[in-house]
Amino acid sequence: MSLRDRLQATLKDAMKAKEADRLSTLRLINAAIKDREIAVRGESDGAVVDDAAILAILGRMVKQRQESARAYEEGGRLELAEKELAEISVISEFLPKQLTEAEVAAAIEAAIAEAGATSIRDMGKVMAVLKGKYTGQMDFGAVGPMVKDKLA
- Using a 10 angstrom Cβ sphere, with 0-12 exposed, 13-18 middle and 19 or more buried, the burial of residue 31 is exposed
**What is the per-residue pLDDT across 77-94, written as a single tens digit (0 to 9) for each?**
999 999 999 999 999 899
- Residue 41: φ, ψ to 5°: -60, -35
Higher per-residue pLDDT: 64 or 135: 64
Q: What is the pLDDT of residue 75?
A: 94
Average pLDDT over residues 53-71: 90
pLDDT at residue 38 tops 90: no
**Distance in angstroms (rounded) separating the CA atoms of residues 2 and 12:** 16
If you count DSSP H runs as helices and E runs as strands, how many of each does the chain have, helices first?
7, 0
Which domains does the chain possess? Answer: 3-92 (1.10.1510.10), 101-151 (1.10.10.410)
Phi/psi zone of residue 46: left (φ > 0), alpha (ψ -120 to 50 degrees), beta? left
